[in-house]
Chain A
């Protein structure tokens, strides 16, 4: 084992096969582990000099606000009761009509809420009371309180949005969707959960998120992982993703990668505010791959025709797709 390779591993620059080699070597004997420990400690110690300033103001604030809450015990107990009441109210509503967005009553958040609804073909940037930002895709809805006063920061989402959440360990950020509740501590992630889509997706870009669904166990996502909830069989799948294509909608792009045509059509309808019908049954199982970079509907349809087996015609403002 060379010192160079060990250092490369310590610096986190080793390729997967090199990593495997180093790990196996360390595991081979206590002497090797000891040698590695020394080198690693030396490296961590040496790099204390180069430590860059980290943003800690939010951490100080988080600690202070938690301490204030501790001092005002009676106040916080009252707040907890309200929260609990809110939770149970929410679950009742949720179980009753799973297809509808949970109705948020004033007592639930014990505060005024803000509701933002985007049109089919428009995007909107929103700044939340804690400084977190949300980019809301078209035909989507978000509900959040005017101030986040309880122990959690809770918002409700229908549709698609990209979240960049300010880190605050003591006040987790929770996104409620039809498929799951997404709990985060401070992170960037994308949620796609339109009521008309079969699949509900959460993609993590950085940080850590936890997904929970009713009593089922919690799923923890690592960066560049996507959790897909399938409404038909109620199964959750985890897969590695290309984050670029997940966020393509933010820049007006649609990227499809072996996407079932059914989903392509839903995305196109949403983006262009139009109606599209798949006429040929053999197209239902067709998987399309292609990128629509800020195209008009006309250009998009032409590209679809050139790049696949699909033919289209417009009848009564409705676009009909057939097999060539």
Chain B
């Protein structure tokens, strides 16, 4: 796969090596979106947050042993989904103060998450959204952004590859980041 997505092998390799820039990008692109997924199935917002924190922590801690080969997006979605399922399963067996309706609703969420055909829809949309976020950039800008932030190349290396000056690369990066700030709120805190 061409390394234009966080799904690219180059990006996954950087994560496995513990590259903090790659991890930052992952957080910015995925945190809010995965939280949206977990909050859609769990009634308690704090539980939904805890689950996503665990997902990221797992990636950071396991690093090199991560069982991701080609599809980071599918991996993130699967881990999130399974964590939600585990959580709802645990709740199912608790004789709790929850009213009957809430217990029945939990059971429905559980079956919904276990329906692979349906959850595939969300997984695919998630990949598309991430792709879209990156593709909003102007062409040259995007190329520089991908080489720098997805592939993790140094400005000097990009300069050699694209045959443009490092000054031009800096300009493109500034533009890319400004664009990100305008169009992708997730990037605000990063740069």
Q: Which residues of A contact B61 (CB under 8 A)?
A: 67, 70
A185 near B189 (CB under 8 angstroms)? no
Pairwise interchain contact A45-B46, C-beta atoms closer than 8 A: no
Say whether A48 faces chain B, with CB atoms less than 8 Å apart: yes
Task: Tell me if B78 is interfacial: C-beta within 8 Å of chain A.
Answer: no
Is A37 a contact of B111 with CB atoms below 8 Å?
yes
- B-chain residues with CB within 8 Å of residue A38 when the two chains form the complex: 117-118, 121
In the bound complex, do residue A53 and residue B188 qualify as a contact, i.e. CB atoms below 8 Å apart? yes
A220-251 interface code vs B (CB 8 A; 1 in, 0 out): 10100000000000000010000000000000
B186 near A60: Cβ-Cβ < 8 Å: no
Chain A residue nearest to B51 in the complex (CB):
A169
Secondary structure of the A contact surface, majority rule? helix
Beyond A33-B111, A45-B125, whether A23 also contacts B104 by CB under 8 A is: yes
Given A45-B125, A47-B36, A167-B46, also A59-B53 (CB < 8 A): yes
Residues from 86 to 141 in B contacting A, C-beta threshold 8 Å: 96-98, 101, 104-105, 108, 111-112, 115, 117-119, 121-122, 124-126, 129
Give the residue of A36, A40, A208 whose beta carbon is less than 8 angstroms from that of B46: A208
Query: Distance in Å from the Cβ of B162 to the closest Cβ of chain A?
Result: 31
Find out whether the CB atom of B49 lies under 8 angstroms from the CB atom of A59. yes
> Please, how many angstroms separate the alpha-carbon atoms of A272 and B53 in the complex?
47
Please tell me if B37 contacts chain A, counting CB pairs below 8 Å: yes
A-B contact count (CB 8 A): 110
Cβ-defined partner of A41 (8 Å) among B52, B121, B188: B121
- A208 x B189 contact (CB < 8 A): no
Does B56 lie at the interface of the complex (its beta carbon under 8 Å from any beta carbon of A)? yes
Contact status B32-A56, CB under 8 Å = yes
Considering the complex, give the chain A residue whose CB is closest to the CB of B36: A51
Which residue of B is nearest A16, CB measured? B101
Is B115 in contact with A34, judged by CB distance below 8 angstroms? yes
State whether the Cβ of B170 lies closer than 8 Å to any Cβ in chain A. no
Flag whether B157 is at the interface (Cβ < 8 A): no
Give the Cβ gap from B1 to chain A, nearest Cβ, in Å.
21
- Which parts of B46-81 form the interface with A (CB within 8 Å)? 46-47, 49-50, 52-53, 56-57, 60-61
A42 within 8 A of B: yes
CB–CB B101/A23 < 8 A:
yes
Q: What residues on A are CB-neighbors of B108 within 8 Å?
A: 23, 26-27, 33, 36
Task: Determine if A85 is an interface residue (Cβ-Cβ < 8 Å).
Answer: no
B residues less than 8 Å from A207 (CB atoms) = 45-46
Is the Cβ of A41 less than 8 Å from the Cβ of B53? no
How far is it, in angstroms, between the C-alpha of A286 and the C-alpha of B125 when the chains are bound? 61
Q: Report the separation of the CA atoms of residues A185 and B44 in the bound assembly, to the nearest whole angstrom.
A: 12
Decide if A117 is an interface residue (CB 8 Å cutoff): no
Number of interface residues of A (CB under 8 A): 45
Write out, one digit per residue, whether chain B residues 137-162 have a CB within 8 A of any chain A CB (1) or not (0).
Answer: 00000000000000000000000000
Q: Is A268 an interface residue (CB 8 A)?
A: no
Give the residues in chain A near B121, CB-CB below 8 Å. 38, 41-42, 45
A26 vs B109: C-alpha distance in the bound complex, in angstroms?
Answer: 11
Q: B96 is contacted by which of A19, A27, A44, A220 (Cβ under 8 Å)?
A: A220
A186 within 8 Å of B by Cβ? yes
Residue from A20, A44, A54, A66 within 8 A of B101 (CB atoms): A20
Cβ of A37 and Cβ of B115 under 8 Å apart? yes
Residues of A within 8 A of B178 (CB): none
Q: In whole angstroms, what is the CA distance A38 to B35 when docked?
A: 20
CB of B17 closer than 8 Å to a CB of A: no
Contact B49 A48 (CB under 8 A): no
Say yes or no: B115 contacts A44, CB within 8 Å. Answer: no
Knowing A48-B129, A49-B129, A169-B53 are in contact, say whether A238-B32 is a contact too (CB < 8 A): no
11 extra interchain contacts, Cβ-Cβ under 8 A, other than A37-B117, A62-B53? A33-B108, A34-B118, A36-B108, A37-B112, A44-B40, A44-B122, A45-B124, A53-B185, A56-B31, A63-B60, A207-B45
Identify the A interface with B (CB < 8 A).
Answer: 16, 19-20, 23, 26-27, 33-34, 36-38, 40-49, 51-54, 56-57, 59-60, 62-63, 66-67, 70, 167, 169, 185-187, 206-208, 220, 222, 238
Shortest beta-carbon contacts, A-B, top 5? A45-B125, A41-B118, A37-B118, A53-B185, A37-B115
The contact sample of 21 A-B pairs, CB cut-off 8 A, is A23-B101, A23-B105, A23-B108, A26-B108, A33-B111, A40-B40, A41-B119, A44-B36, A44-B122, A48-B125, A48-B129, A49-B129, A51-B33, A51-B36, A54-B32, A56-B32, A59-B53, A59-B56, A62-B53, A63-B53, A222-B44
